[in-house]
Structures are given as structure tokens and as C-alpha cells.
Chain A
Amino acid sequence: MEVFLQQCVNAISLGGIYALLALGLAVVFSIVRLINFAHGEVMTIAGYAIWLALLSSVPVVAAIILGITVAMLASVAMERIAFRAMRGASVTSLLITSFAVSEIVKVLFQNGISARPVPIVLPAWMSGSINMGFLTISVMSLISIIVVAVSLVALSVILTRTTLGVAMRAAAEDFPVVRLVGIKANHVVALAFAISGALAGVAAVLWVAQRGSVDPLMGAAPVLKAFIATVLGGLGSLSGAVLGGFVVGAVEVFLQGYLPESVAPYREAISLSIIIGLLVLRPDGLWPAQNVNRS
């Protein structure tokens, strides 16, 4: 029982990070129909920003805030430099553009810093654990879960209480009409990328804190999972992305925890099969977006 509860904590903690990343992908996709594969590189950029800050003896909290801010700016800059010129292009052209951006950023880090991982050392209390009687939770998992919860609440406040946030939800449904009422398209798109970048930044903080190193490929693996999560949740659906993130995280953790040793090597295949199975049952995703196809 204790192990099961512990695995549940692990699943929520990992799923939460996937949910943040998936949400970042979904926010952008819902508005500009861009599946942003460079999202992982936003994470990587945040990771290196934290590394550089810590290297320059910036206090941890400031380094973390800096990392998230840099991620936000990087995401907005990517839109400004690469994606704005492609606005309105087909989903495929946008996808390929994002691959290009992703490759460029990776190569910049490989050649500019190092292809090798660089270590990030966070204060010791962050890598400790807390005994909660029947359960020992690592501080990082706890922080992770709290941070994810706070981020999700903050995002929902932005999306329901601010004009641009409401405009973003409207734009996901029908962008031309949002422009027709006089709201500037560039503002809405920039906000979407800023939110997406901030979420990637938060995910990056949790990621590097748990893993202890940053490398140029850091963002690739989690964003692939997050992409699976957005598809599973329903492409373009924000609630779906969050749900998908938690499902992907749970599938990963429970298969790792409970699959017998003999079939363990097929874990990834089994986990993807489960997800394909879910998609066969619900082809539009677990929680599809409204009017995704209306142009």
C-alpha cells in the first residue's frame, strides 16, 4: 500500500510536469495551429539560464525567477523571429519551421556551451525528503506538485479574469472574429507564447531540480511526452492537455513500478500501445476542444 501511494505521488509529480508542457503546446496550438517542437528548447534555454545564474552566484530563488522569465522571453522571441513570418501557413509548414528552430537552438548550445551536460546544484534541502508518517515524500515531488497546482490555478485566472486571457480562449475558437472586434492579433499571439514559455520555464525548473544537469537535448524527451499528452487529451484542448499530461505520467510511472522484469524492456512500447488504445476509443482525445476545425 505504501509503495502504491508513493507511486501515485510519483505519477502526479511527473504527470504535472508533462501537464505544464502539454498545456504550453496546447495554448499555442489552439491559437496559431502550430505544433511547436521547439518548445523543448525553451525548456533547455531556461535550464541554461539557471545554470549561468547559479554559476554567477545569483541566489537560487532569483536564478529560478530568471530562468522562467528567460523562457518566457525566448518563447515570445521565437514567435517574433520565426513563426510570425509563417502565420497562416499550413500546419505542416509551421511544424517544419518549429523543427528548424529546435535544431538551431540545440546546435547553438552544443557549440556555444558544450554538448556535454553541465551540473546544476540546488540547495541540499531541495533534494531531501519528508516523512509524513505512512509515506515519505521527496521534497522535490512535493514542490513539483505544489508548483504545478499553483501554475494551473494562475493560468486559469489569466484565462478567465483578464481581457487578453478571455481573448485567447476566444481566439482558440475563432481567431478572425477576435480581430473583428478590434483585439490585436499580435497581442493575443504574443500572450499565448509568453504563457507557453512561462509554463516551459516552470517545467524546466522542476526538471533540472530533479535531474541535476542540463544538456542541449534536455527538452527533447519530455516535450515528446507532452506532445503525446496533447494528442491524447485532444489537440488544442487546454483541459485535455492537462488531463493527457497526467495520464501519460501515470502510465509511465505505473508501468515502471509494476511491470514484471521479463517484459520491462517493452515498457515504452506497452505505454504507447495503451495510449493508442485510448485514442482508438476516443479518436478526438479524452477531452476534445470545441470547434477545433472551424477556420
Chain B
Amino acid sequence: MLSVEGLVVRYGPIEAVRGIDFTVNRGEVFALLGANGAGKSSTLAAIAGLVKPFAGRITYDGKPVSGLPPETLSRAGIGLVPEGRRIFASLTVAENLWLGGAAHGSTAERQQLQKEMEERFPILGERARQKAGLLSGGEQQMLAIARALMARPKLLLLDEPSLGLAPQMVEKVFDLIAAMRKEGLTILLVEQNVPMSLQIADRGIVLANGHIVVSGTGVELLHNSDVTNAYLAA
């Protein structure tokens, strides 16, 4: 569904991603692991169109998509839940959801989907008219994911969805990921919670300094000592 070949991302003279290759298959959860600064978020940003790759090819659904603007990629079915959630704090919860689907589908479809989201995440329904900035961290994460789902993505990029959440919220997030996979969504997951990610991931790779150091199935990686080393080395 998504293939990345020789991806290089640069910010001025700083090379964040130094030529990585991987493929994400339809319907799987693919984990992208690594220490801080390993190049995970930059990889997601390049796939979602927030930064232009310096070199390399990104293919989505068989079509080259590298360098396309984020709005085009969103319309093509790539959704990103950014790190730090980045919900629109001054807008209401309902407005956040509405914007999530604004560029997708008819008004009726959007209203239907919004209702579904509010059923799936009851807290969002209850607080629909409140400013999103007033939600707790976990609730904001739910909103960020729901907002991305409003665009009916086929490929969902999740950037550190459990970061800074209370333990029971973290569990909720992983339950949600599992549920979304069941519904047929392809998920590219960036996480610092390595054990939980690898328990849920079908496959994954570990990045260090912009390179892939190890790749394999979730179970393989869970038992690979290089994975822990990659974190320690950072």
C-alpha cells in the first residue's frame, strides 16, 4: 500500500532521515521505532506531505506521491495524527471534527460520520460544544484521532499517540488501534512505548540516526536485543 525507497529528509544542512526503505502492506499495523531524533517523525512528515523529501521515492497505492502537498495527500486517503495532538484548541470539539471531514464526502455523509465518532468516543459527544483546549490530554488524543478518521483515511499515520497519557488512557489508545485495524485501516505507528507497540504491530523497523538498524515482525523485534540497544545507544 505504501512503499518508501531511499527516503532522505533534510532541514537545511541537518539530515534527519538518511536513506531508508520500507513497505507497509494493506491492513497491517506497521511500527516505526527509535530513540528521540532517530528520524521517525520526519519520515511521517514526508509521507504526509508536511516536508518535501530531499531524495527518494514514496509510492502510495501504486502512484508516486513524494513532494505532493498535504491537502492532496489527505484527499488521496493518507491521514496523520500529529505528535502533540495539535487539536485546534480555540475551536469547539464539534468544529474540530467538522473540519476533519470538511474536504471529504458530502455534508450528509459528514454529519453521519460525525455522529458515529461521537458514539465511538462518547466524551466527544458530551463535550461537543466545549472548546477543545479544555479537554484532558487523553481526550484530546481521542479527538485528534477522531478528527483524522473524519477524513475516511485508508492509511493512518499515528505519531506518538500515547505520549504523556495516563496508563489507562494508553491502554485505551492501543485498544483503539487494534479496533481500527480490524475495520480494515492500514496503520503506520510511531511510538516510544516499544513493548506495547510491538505487541500490536504486524511488522516494524527500528531507526537510529536516520538509518534502519533492524527490521522484522513485531514478535521478532520484541525479542531482538538490537532493539533495546538502539534505544540505549541514543
Q: Which residues 150-197 of B have a CB within 8 angstroms of A? A: 150-151
Partner of A170, one of B88, B103, B104: B88
Q: Check B88–A173 contact: CB distance below 8 A.
A: yes
Chain B residues with CB under 8 Å of A174's CB are 86, 88
Contact (Cβ within 8 A) B91 A166: yes
Find chain A residues with CB under 8 A from B101 CB.
181
Task: Tell me the count of chain B residues lying within 8 A, CB to CB, of chain A.
Answer: 30
**Is A180's CB under 8 angstroms from B80's CB?**
yes
**B219 CB contacts on chain A under 8 angstroms:** none
Residue count of chain A within 8 Å CB distance of chain B: 19
Give the residue name and chain of the A residue nearest to B96 (CB): A170
User: Of the candidates B49, B50, B151, which one forms a contact with A181 in the assembled complex, judged by CB atoms under 8 Å apart?
Assistant: B151
Interface positions, chain A 130-186, Cβ under 8 Å from B, are 163, 166-167, 169-170, 173-174, 176-185
Interface segment, one of B15-23, B67-75, B200-208 = B67-75
> 7 closest Cβ contacts across the A-B interface?
A182-B103, A182-B74, A179-B70, A170-B88, A290-B90, A163-B102, A177-B86
Contact in complex: A177, B71 (CB < 8 Å): no
**For the complex, is B82 an interface residue (Cβ under 8 Å from A)?**
yes
CB pair A170 B71 closer than 8 Å: no
Query: With contacts defined as CB atoms under 8 Å apart, how many contacts are there between chain A and chain B in the complex?
Result: 75
* B99 at interface, CB cutoff 8 A: yes
Question: Separation in Å of the B231 CB from the closest CB of chain A?
Answer: 29
Name the CB-closest residue of B to A176: B50
Are A290's CB and B86's CB within 8 A? no
Q: In the assembled complex, how far is the CB of residue B147 from the closest CB belonging to chain A, in whole angstroms? A: 7
Contact B102 A183 (CB under 8 A): yes
Closest-CB distance, A170 to chain B (whole angstroms): 4
Q: Tell me if B82 and A290 are in contact (CB < 8 A).
A: no
Residues of B near A181 (CB, < 8 A) are 74, 79, 99-103, 147-148, 150-151
- Give Cα A138 to B82, complex, Å: 55
Q: Which residue of A lies closest to B50 (CB)?
A: A176
* CB atoms of A185 and B71 under 8 A apart: yes
- Which residues on the A side are within 8 Å of B90 (C-beta)? 169, 173, 290-291
CA distance A123 to B201 in the complex (A): 75
What would be 17 A-B contacts, judged by CB atoms less than 8 Å apart? A163-B98, A166-B98, A167-B99, A169-B88, A170-B95, A174-B88, A177-B82, A177-B86, A177-B88, A178-B99, A179-B69, A179-B70, A180-B48, A181-B103, A182-B74, A183-B103, A184-B103
